[in-house]
Structure 1
Amino acid sequence: MSRPPLRHAEPPWPRTVDVAERRAAGWVPRPFHSFVLKVHSRCDLACDYCYMYRSHDQSWRGLPRAMAPATVRRVAERIAEHLSAHGVSEAGVVLHGGEPLLLDDETLVHTVEELRTAVGDGVRLRLSLQTNGMRLTEERLALCDALGLRIGVSTDGGRAAHDRHRRGADGRGSHARVNAALGRLASERHRHLFGALLCTVDLRNDPVRTYEDLLEHRPPTLDFLLPLGTWHTPPPGLDPSGRLTPYADWLWAVFERWYGAPVRETGIRLLDDLLALLLGATPRTEALGLSPVRYAVVDTDGSLTQDDALRTAYDGAAATGLDVWGASFDTLLLHPGVAARQWGADALCAHCLACPLHRVCGGGHYATRYRPGTGFANPSVYCADLAELIRRVRHRLGMDLARAGEKTERLRGTGPRPVEAV
């Protein structure tokens, strides 16, 4: 049976999508294997680009500061129920915020114990924590070690780059404290807890200098995040005509420095995924490509929401109307906004489908596609930048593969042969 065509005309797509019709046509939702728990809804920094506190959606103001013990237990039960129903034997849970380390030690321990007890020994539960680093003391690191929590830290590089945005409510920069925390995390004692560094791209910062500043901490992985913006509220410095591609230029400079290094210094998720897709492999994350989105978000009150980044689109964009008290994660899978992000190319607009690069870029980050009137049925506001970056990396990779092929043929004594372009 052929699938019914998607209708992108009715705003705000995809809320108008008939999921039942899609299921009748053969679509089967993929179960969640990652869960983001907003265990604390407040933060001890006031970063001026924060999608949680500085966006159109201000619903955080009405949320409990911390996830109550009863809510934690119910969330844990719902996760265990979902994993068991679908035979998922390995899953990830990220303790998020706000700032999760605003929780006291007792609550942090209770949260982890509830999660592990609920899923039982039959599931390998990978637990991690995403922090701004302000409260990452030696004592907290020891506790995270005891709890088996890997740690990701948000930082934007050197002092000037970091403190431009990542300041406290009093206006003081946070670089000194975060840098000290990273020194502790990267030490031999705690290095096994080090998950990744997250850095938001700022065009005013030198890309190579930013990369090398981050590299000083010897992170196992880096994540370069494009500032969240939409067609209604574009990211800073973006060329609306698409003739200039400043974000592609910035990331290309990082790529050349990273890719051209004599040894692999660290992973860069965005670029690793881009290379994987160009080589026909499956990316590790859902930032690029057409892999189905398989993570769920739970707010401190137990609400089941879509990706928090949707808060940058409009007030209520991330809401689903569901919570752990009355709905399972299976129910969340059938919400139009969640379901659409599992449909791959079927959920892309006509402009994206006509582009030969759509299987690599995947249409761009979902939140960055928003335009009033057509909802998320648009290319990403970063469309031109993504296309330019993909073309440059594809050309570089193709040249390297061709050279490698020629070298192999010379060694075999059969002479060079043309290598198919990537």
Structure 2
Amino acid sequence: MNRLRHAEPPWPVAADVVAREAAGWVPAPLHSFVLKVHSRCDLACQYCYMYRAQDRSWREQPRTMAPETVDRTAGRIAEHLAAHGLREAGVVLHGGEPLLAGEAALRRTASVLRAAAGPGVQLHLALQTNGVRLTERWLDLCAEHGIRVSVSLDGDRAAHDRHRRGADGRGSHARVAGAVGRLSDGPHRPLFAGLLCTIDLRNDPVRCYEHLLTYRPPAVDFLLPQGNWHTPPPGLGPGTPYADWLWRVFERWYGAGQRETRVRLLEDMMALLLGGTPETEALGVAPVRYAVVETDGSLAQDDTLRTAYHGAARTGLHVRRDSFDALLRHPGVAARQWGVDGLSAQCRGCRLQRVCGGGHYAHRYRAATGFANPSVYCADLAALITRVRGRLAADLDRLRAAAAEAA
């Protein structure tokens, strides 16, 4: 395979980090940790950023995180939390497909993480799964260790099975829907964290959303397909097709007579427009505060950077010899803590910068200029933000008018 040739971003470099620290910048400590407990998957999803992107380093990773790597990672997390006086943090057991690690390994991992953090730290454990193997036995194990569960589900059978199939070409919807049903309706309902749905423009947005609602999810995360300026996402332009798709979801969700679920992308957008703080780091310019640990113990940047070029997520750091504080000072991680200063010149001059935040970091990549660009979804994000802002402004005007009349 010919790997994509790329130019390193014009910024940041190590000297930039040193200069900013000298000028008074203090890194925001990490509060979320993604552990790649298994580096293979039992599905072959067509849009997968792990196994179908520019980066093939997963082939070099051990399939399962070894016990000694789990122990060292748990110690590093505890060290970081203690150093910064943090009493709460989240850990996501991730993959590949984490359930492939097996019951014994995940049970041990959860126990080691909690023991290392100690009783003074509230450690929120979560599991991100494709749902194919999520049996009652697995749910019992998650309940035993207080592990909340999120499942990837792209809509009804036709929508889901278009992409999320096994290596044999067989769709996975029936198995995943059964697993989500067990999670939603049984005694393990408190473990249900939400559903992740990757947008496909061919799917009717309202029908997709309403199918997900049948499982009564506490939250739904609609994900833009991974893409960048070198490898654009499917169906992008002309016009703003992803904004149009999400706007129809917004109208259905926002216009409901009662709150049916959370749609975090839309809630974060509204919060930022109203001067609040988003819950996730998908929008806005708040410091990025999560780390990824590969199965071999390597410390990595956001693994969606694999869609840019081979090795894009690598940092050269490892839990065996490096602290998470060292990761915070890696140029690629540090730049995502610099707020507006970490954006491209075009984004810094945009009136929507503090809402959009430049878009997802991986979506900014262009071979000639690295990540110093707006998101490939720039037009769609701007269109959606503008429409949502208009709707909120109109509703606020009506409320003010009603209040004035009542007075």
Range into which the TM-score falls when normalised by the shorter chain: over 0.9
Q: CA deviation at 1:373?
A: 1.6
1:170 corresponds to 2:165:
no
- For residues 14 and 370 of structure 1, the distance between their equivalents in structure 2, rounded to whole angstroms, comes to 14
Is this contact kept in 2: 1:55–1:312, CA < 8 A? yes
In the alignment, what sits opposite 2:93? Answer: 95
In the alignment, what sits opposite 1:119? Answer: 117
Distance 1:278 1:17, change over 3 A: farther
- SS of the equivalent of 1:81 reads helix
Paired letter, 1:165: H
- For residues 334 and 255 of structure 1, the distance between their equivalents in structure 2, rounded to whole angstroms, comes to 38
- For residues 287 and 11 of structure 1, the distance between their equivalents in structure 2, rounded to whole angstroms, comes to 21
In the alignment, what sits opposite 1:391? Answer: 386
Aligned counterparts, 1:62-77, within 5 A: 62-77=60-75
- For residues 243 and 280 of structure 2, the distance between their equivalents in structure 1, rounded to whole angstroms, comes to 20
Paired letter, 1:264: R
Q: Structure 1, unaligned stretches of length 5 or more?
A: 1-8, 413-422
Match of residue 329, structure 1, among 324, 334, 341: 324
1:19 corresponds to 2:2:
no
In the alignment, what sits opposite 2:276? Answer: 281
Match of residue 355, structure 1, among 350, 353, 364: 350
Distance 1:136 1:10, change over 3 A: closer
- SS of the equivalent of 1:198 reads strand
Is this contact kept in 2: 1:14–1:375, CA < 8 A? no
Deviations 1:142-180 (A, max 9, x none): 111011000000010100000000000000000000000
- Is the deviation greater in 90-99 or in 15-24? 15-24
In the alignment, what sits opposite 1:106? Answer: 104
Paired letter, 2:127: L
In the alignment, what sits opposite 2:182? Answer: 184
In the alignment, what sits opposite 2:50? Answer: 52
1:294 corresponds to 2:292:
no
- SS of the equivalent of 1:70 reads helix
- SS of the equivalent of 2:185 reads coil
Match of residue 83, structure 2, among 82, 85, 108: 85
Paired letter, 2:355: V
- SS of the equivalent of 1:251 reads helix
Question: Once superposed, which parts of structure 1, at least 4 consecutive aligned residues long, lie more than 4 Å away?
Answer: none
- For residues 187 and 326 of structure 1, the distance between their equivalents in structure 2, rounded to whole angstroms, comes to 45
In the alignment, what sits opposite 1:341? Answer: 336
- For residues 313 and 103 of structure 1, the distance between their equivalents in structure 2, rounded to whole angstroms, comes to 28
Paired letter, 1:322: L
Is this contact kept in 1: 2:206–2:249, CA < 8 A? yes
Q: Structure 2, unaligned stretches of length 5 or more?
A: 1-6
Match of residue 157, structure 2, among 141, 154, 159: 159
Is this contact kept in 1: 2:131–2:179, CA < 8 A? yes
In the alignment, what sits opposite 2:3? Answer: none
Q: How many residues align?
A: 401
Is this contact kept in 2: 1:13–1:374, CA < 8 A? no
Is this contact kept in 2: 1:38–1:299, CA < 8 A? yes
- For residues 227 and 15 of structure 1, the distance between their equivalents in structure 2, rounded to whole angstroms, comes to 29
Is this contact kept in 1: 2:343–2:358, CA < 8 A? yes
Deviations 1:346-398 (A, max 9, x none): 01111111110011000000000000121100000000000000000000000
Paired letter, 2:291: A
In the alignment, what sits opposite 1:369? Answer: 364
Is this contact kept in 2: 1:12–1:372, CA < 8 A? no
Q: CA deviation at 1:237?
A: 0.5
TM-score (norm: length of structure 2): 0.97
Is this contact kept in 2: 1:52–1:311, CA < 8 A? yes
Match of residue 309, structure 2, among 294, 308, 314: 314
Deviations 1:23-78 (A, max 9, x none): 00111000000000000000000001000001000000010000000000000000
In the alignment, what sits opposite 1:5? Answer: none
- Is the deviation greater in 200-209 or in 15-24? 15-24
Aligned counterparts, 1:198-209, within 5 A: 198-209=196-207
Is this contact kept in 2: 1:47–1:167, CA < 8 A? yes
Is this contact kept in 2: 1:14–1:377, CA < 8 A? no
Deviations 1:239-267 (A, max 9, x none): 1xxx5000000000000000000001000
- For residues 111 and 127 of structure 2, the distance between their equivalents in structure 1, rounded to whole angstroms, comes to 15
Is this contact kept in 1: 2:220–2:264, CA < 8 A? yes
- For residues 125 and 9 of structure 2, the distance between their equivalents in structure 1, rounded to whole angstroms, comes to 38
Q: CA deviation at 1:187?
A: 1.3
Q: CA deviation at 1:11?
A: 3.3
Q: CA deviation at 1:17?
A: 5.4
Is this contact kept in 1: 2:73–2:297, CA < 8 A? yes
Q: CA deviation at 1:15?
A: 4.2
- For residues 409 and 109 of structure 1, the distance between their equivalents in structure 2, rounded to whole angstroms, comes to 59
- For residues 348 and 16 of structure 2, the distance between their equivalents in structure 1, rounded to whole angstroms, comes to 21
Is this contact kept in 2: 1:40–1:66, CA < 8 A? yes
The RMSD of aligned alpha carbons is 1.0
- For residues 271 and 247 of structure 2, the distance between their equivalents in structure 1, rounded to whole angstroms, comes to 16
- For residues 12 and 385 of structure 1, the distance between their equivalents in structure 2, rounded to whole angstroms, comes to 26
- For residues 185 and 139 of structure 2, the distance between their equivalents in structure 1, rounded to whole angstroms, comes to 11
- For residues 316 and 300 of structure 1, the distance between their equivalents in structure 2, rounded to whole angstroms, comes to 15
Is this contact kept in 1: 2:14–2:330, CA < 8 A? no
In the alignment, what sits opposite 1:3? Answer: none
TM-score (norm: length of structure 1): 0.94
